[in-house]
Structure 1
Amino acid sequence: MALGSYFRLVNAGWVLAREGAFSVLPPESLPPSMKLGVGLARLVERRSVRKTGSVERLNAALHKLGPSFVKFGQTLATRPDIVGAQAAADLSGLQDRMPPFDPKLVPGILEAALGSKAALLTEISAPVAAASIAQVHQARLRVSGAVPKTVAVKVLRPGVSERFHADTDSLYAGARLAETFSPASRRLRPTEIVRTLDHSMRLELDLRLEAAAISEMAENIANDTGFVIPEVHWDHVAQNVLVTSWMHGIPIRDHAAIDAAGIDRKALATKLMQSFLRHAIRDGYFHADMHPGNLFADPKTGDVIAVDFGIMGRIGKPERRFLADILFGFITRNYRLVAQRHFDIGYVPKHQSVDDFALAIRSIGEPLHGRTAAEISMAKVLGQLFSVTDLFDMQTRPELVLLQKSMVLVEGVARTLDPELDIWTVAEPVVGEWLRREEGPIGRLEDLAGHLSRLGEAAGRVPALIAQAELALAEHRAMVNRPRDGLMRNVVLAVLLASLALLGVLIWRALGLG
């Protein structure tokens, strides 16, 4: 790790402390060691921040520090229930109102990326949205023989890749420092968390992958309602340029415009939450950057419109089952189920007591039932969660980090639309439908098909094993006397029988007989 990474980390800490970043953290949600660190950091805070509580300068500071820091600020902007309404409002400018790069550079970037096809993009507007990674322009796509279309042209910021790599080097440095000097932090696996976020951000820097993500999600939601995404114009896609259909919508944070259009905000919040859960639980593939700058309301249908698919989350069947069971357990107040699933997936070490952990989960879940979003203090809930994770030596699952971060984002946006949102009532139809399907005949058949597929793969390897054994026998015959051929034949026969036995066990398990 280069020494410069540590200098950048120290500089970032100084800048964040000066501009009041640590003032937005609710002290009641922090463990004692973090409270001490925050207290020391606030000693260098600007007087204006201490006096007014306003952190509007933090936007510019985060932007200067780099795109990874901007992503963190975007998440905080969706949680006024945690950081306070004033801080959330100050940070909201990070979502799509960052200073754009020089629009005069855009034609040259398009020509270099798309070649002669760039000429088909005309009437390119000034930036309509600018974020930490890219900015978006409106344009007209004029293809010979087709009606001109209004499109969105997304262009990566020049030099953003270098800034991102500098960010992640600093984050890795911070994670390793934490693991070295704070043994308690090791259970949170900070280096693994940074590695997960690093991977997702690297994908965001290639707009060809974003185009593919839009395509995959379009297939997943083809029969769904309530959630709409743009269409990719594949002839105008490059590593740093993405052209999609233009989506006409009302920014989801513009509540006055949504109300004026006659859109039911409660229904909109429900569509947002249920769509996200459906994508995560049913498909295992979800939009992982659903801050308000990427969400709109369709004025005609009241549907949710999502854009910017640079960061996507993917989870496997065990993690999807974990999420569904956790939500179902909270919905039905089955805290034993919630606790057991945390043990099953490895969040809680085996030496801990399931019953004691279920009791701790009950202490968190019971106060949330029957309460509206406006009545729940997420700061207090987070504080309790910190205590529980410490008490039970809970381990972080890095592959679930994006899912957890995304749930925080989505729930925060839904809260602003509907302060009376009851997450359990909204989640039940999606979770219940998926669990009933998984436990029913269709789910069983899909599991059997998966077993049979793996069985076929294993069976396909048996001839290769036999061939390798025969080759070994032939080579051995060339090196030793013939009297020992019988022994080698027995070895080959043993390998063959072992392979067939393994095949039999796989068939037995696939059919559910064992």
Structure 2
Amino acid sequence: MGSLGAFGRLVGSALILVREDALLPRELTDAYPPAVRAVADALRAFAGPGATRGRPGERLARSLERLGPVAIKLGQLLSTRADIFGATFVEDLARLKDRLEPFPTEMARREIEAGLGRPLSSLFVSFGDPVAAASLAQAHEAQLLDGRRVAVKVLRPGIVRRVAQDSETLALAARLVERWSAPARRLEPRAFAATVIRATELELDLRLEAAGADELGEVMARDGYMRTPKVVWDGVSKRVLTVEWAPGVALTDPAALEQPGLDRRAVADNLVRAFLAQALDHGVFHADLHEGNLFVAAPAQITAVDFGIIGRLGPAERRYLAEILYGFLERDYERVARVHFEAGYVPPAQSIAAFAQALRAVGEPIFGRAARDVSMSRLLTQLFEITALFDMHLRPELVLLQKTMMTVEGVARRIDPDHDLWAAADPVVRRWMTRELSPPARARRMAEDLQDFLRRLAVRLETPPAAPALVEVRETLAPLLWFALGAAAAGVAFLIGALGG
């Protein structure tokens, strides 16, 4: 019954898009190939009254809002890419970030009291109406008993059930795409859907968001590119989150970029560097950096909120990311190609030299040109075509990273249309390369790998053997192994010291 219900909701979603003329909008008819144009004309016969109201972006925003939280998340991503879809289109989608229809304040009060298990008056002097409403929750301004101004986030009533239904529908859509669209299979639609679903499920427990905000607050403080409001732990439960009020103006407010003394270029640089420093240096990053979650203040201060989605990278992924970025910065396409092969992103049967040549064809045209002169949609199309030629599959563990990089670049260019992403990334990437790929760092990593291998082998030898005949071998080798482990550690420590580590 679950699959049948999901299929019904999927068909219903398509009908909503068709009735609003948001699936294949009439304004783009001249750009469609003949076959697509015929389909668009046929679908337009089922359009409703909404198909004539507003621009394509407005119609799509209305449709996505009706379709629910997962669809709204997609709209939020699209609304960061003015360089691809145009300023008018993304402005029409901007309301999906934090300007959705709120639920009543009295209902929010009941939800908060139930979640915290105490009356509002025991924590707040005042509690106001909603100041922002998003797909999963809404925020209220309040004042604590000690006088601090805070933001109180509360989940929408019934949102858990709605997300579960949307997740079933998304999973079904991914299975259908993977089954019927051979070109889309390399994008791993089922793995992508699973990643999105898991991330959304985690957003439904605000205790996890509070912990993420606290962790990333510590991380951000080390670099200073970005900050986060402090968590008020007395006001945290599964359905409620209380944090100190974010300084500055939300980027969704047109006045945000018109503040006296604001340095747009520095703000855009700080945004890019904050994200890269989090991902590369610490392996944990804010994975929902759209304008609705960013506040700015002069001259270039950025405060991030809403830590419902946090991305994490292991040491190997961090190294591959840094080497790929560094290779593009240095225009060393062979190095970038080798890293793709070492990481397993491209099948080993392909040619490294041919892949490097393809990367050069994409990378060279963007260097030395202003950001506004680079067609990002054309660049993305070329990348898609090239990776398809080399059978490169989407890496599920990097989905959030790729999505966040796309969002950050889009927001940075809305802040500063001439922003140079590569120049902004350069100091953070070079710092990481200098620290992590120096001789002492390489020796330290070799020591860690060797110690890990010997430790696992020692544990294996200490485990009771399946055959009694192996007991004598185990008792003989184990002491030698522990001696080798200590000697290896001492030797590598000496090497690190000799190299200047």
Same fold (TM over 0.5): yes
Q: Shift in Å at residue 198 of structure 1?
A: 1.2
C-alpha distance in structure 2 between counterparts of 1:424 and 1:234, whole Å: 39
Alignment match, 2:8: 7
For residues 284-323 of structure 1, what are the structure 2 equivalents within 5 Å? Answer: 284-299=283-298, 301-323=299-321
Letter in 1 for 2:448: G
Q: Residues 148-171 of structure 1, C-alpha deviation per residue, up to 9 Å, x if partnerless?
A: 211110001111111111111111
Report deviation, 1:303: 0.8
2:106 corresponds in structure 1 to: 104
Matches within 5 A, 1:260-299: 260-299=259-298
Residues 1:165 and 2:164 are matched in the alignment? yes
Shift of 1:137: 0.3
Question: What pairs with 1:126-165 in structure 2 (closer than 5 Å)?
Answer: 126-142=129-145, 147-165=146-164
TM-aligned CA distance change 1:38 to 1:306, over 3 Å: farther
Equivalences for 1:54-453 in 2 at 5 Å? 54-116=56-118, 118=120, 119-142=122-145, 147-254=146-253, 256-299=255-298, 301-440=299-438, 443-444=441-442, 446-447=444-445, 450-451=448-449
CA contact (8 A) 2:57 2:90 kept: no
C-alpha separation between the residues in 2 aligned to 1:31 and 1:394? 27
Provide the C-alpha distance between the structure 2 equivalents of 1:281 and 1:88, rounded to a whole number of angstroms.
30
State the shift of 1:54 in Å.
3.2
- Aligned 8 A contact 1:287 1:311 in 2: yes
Look up the SS of the partner of 1:95 in the other structure: helix
Cα offset for 1:500? 5.9
Cα distance in 2, alignment partners of residues 148 and 441 from structure 1: 53
Q: What are the Cα deviations for residues 17-51 of structure 1, in whole angstroms up to 9, with x where unaligned?
A: 33344458999xx999xx96687357425598689
The alpha-carbon deviation at position 339 of structure 1 amounts to 1.1
Secondary structure in structure 1 of the residue aligned to 2:236: strand
Distance verdict in 2 for CA 1:339–1:352, change over 3 Å: same
Distance 2:117 2:383 in 1: 53
Following TM superposition, by how much is the alpha carbon of 1:462 offset from its aligned partner in structure 2, in angstroms? 5.5
Change (3 A) 1:259 1:7: same
One-letter identity of the residue aligned with 1:352? Q
Please give the per-residue CA displacement for 1:381-430, whole angstroms capped at 9, x wherever unaligned: 11111211221111110010100000110000000111111111111100
Q: Judge which range, 493-502 or 204-213, deviates more.
A: 493-502
8 Å contact kept, 1:31–1:383? no
Q: Which amino acid aligns with 2:300?
A: G
- For 1:25 and 1:406, locate their aligned partners in 2 and report how far apart those are by CA, in whole Å: 31
CA distances 1:438-472 after superposition (whole Å, capped 9, x unpaired): 0236634652563366357537625742xx24xx7
Amino acid at match of 2:74: F
SS in structure 2 opposite 1:205?
coil
Which secondary structure state, in structure 2, belongs to the residue aligned with residue 125 of structure 1?
A: strand
Contact 2:94 2:252 in 1 (8 A): no
TM-score by length of 2: 0.89
Between 1:95-104 and 1:501-510, the stretch displaced more is 501-510
The one of 462, 472, 485 equivalent to 1:493 is: 472
Q: Distance in 2 between matches of 1:349 and 1:206?
A: 39
CA distance in 2, matches of 1:199, 1:392: 29
SS in 1 for 2:274: helix
The aligned residue for residue 498 of structure 2 is none
Q: What is the CA distance between 1:491 and its match in structure 2?
A: 2.4
- SS of 2:233's partner is strand
Identity of aligned residues (%): 42
CA distance in 2, matches of 1:506, 1:38: 68
SS at match of 2:222: coil
The offset of 1:177, in angstroms, is 1.1
In the aligned structure 2, how far is the partner of 1:457 from the partner of 1:187? 38
Change in 2 beyond 3 A, CA 1:429/1:349: same
- Answer whether contact 1:113 1:241 (CA < 8 A) is retained: yes
Root-mean-square deviation (CA), in Å?
Answer: 2.9
For the Cα contact (< 8 Å) 1:274–1:430, is it kept in 2? yes
Counterparts of 1:434-473 in structure 2 under 5 Å?
434-440=432-438, 443-444=441-442, 446-447=444-445, 450-451=448-449, 454=452, 457-458=455-456, 461=459, 464-465=462-463, 468-469=464-465
Farther-moved stretch of structure 1 (177-186 vs 224-233): 177-186
Distance 1:100 1:85 in 2: 26
**Structure 2 unaligned residues grouped into runs of 5+:** 496-501
Aligned-partner Cα distance in 1 for 2:410–2:322: 20
Cα gap change, 1:191 to 1:507, in 2 (>3 Å): farther
Instruction: Give the Cα–Cα distance (whole angstroms) in 1 for the partners of residues 35 and 149 of structure 2.
Output: 54
* TM-fit CA distance, 1:190: 0.9
Contact 2:216-2:284 at 8 Å conserved across structures: yes
Q: CA 1:39–1:337 in structure 2 vs 1: closer, same or farther (change >3 Å)?
A: farther
Aligned partners of 2:25, 2:477: CA distance in 1, in Å?
Answer: 63
Post-superposition shift, 1:496? 3.6
Q: 1:336 to 1:500 in 2, by over 3 A?
A: farther
Would the aligned equivalents of 2:458 and 2:482 in 1 still touch at CA under 8 Å? no
Note the C-alpha offset of 1:506.
Answer: 6.5
**Residues in 1 aligned to 2:41 and 2:290: alpha-carbon distance in whole angstroms:** 28
Q: Which stretch shows the higher mean deviation, 261-270 or 436-445? A: 436-445
Whole-Å separation in 1 of the counterparts to 2:188 and 2:488: 35
Q: Is the 8 A contact 1:205 1:240 kept in 2?
A: yes
Q: CA offsets per residue over residues 361-381 of structure 1, 9 Å max, x none?
A: 111101110112211111111
CA deviation profile, 1:266-320 (whole Å, cap 9, x unmatched): 1110111111111111111111111100011124x52111000001111111111
> Does the C-alpha gap of structure 1 residues 100 and 283 become closer, same or farther in structure 2, counting only changes over 3 Å?
same
Radius of gyration: which is bigger?
A: 1
Separation in structure 1 between the aligned mates of residue 52 and residue 43 of structure 2, nearest angstrom: 10
Deviates more, 1:176-185 or 1:70-79: 176-185
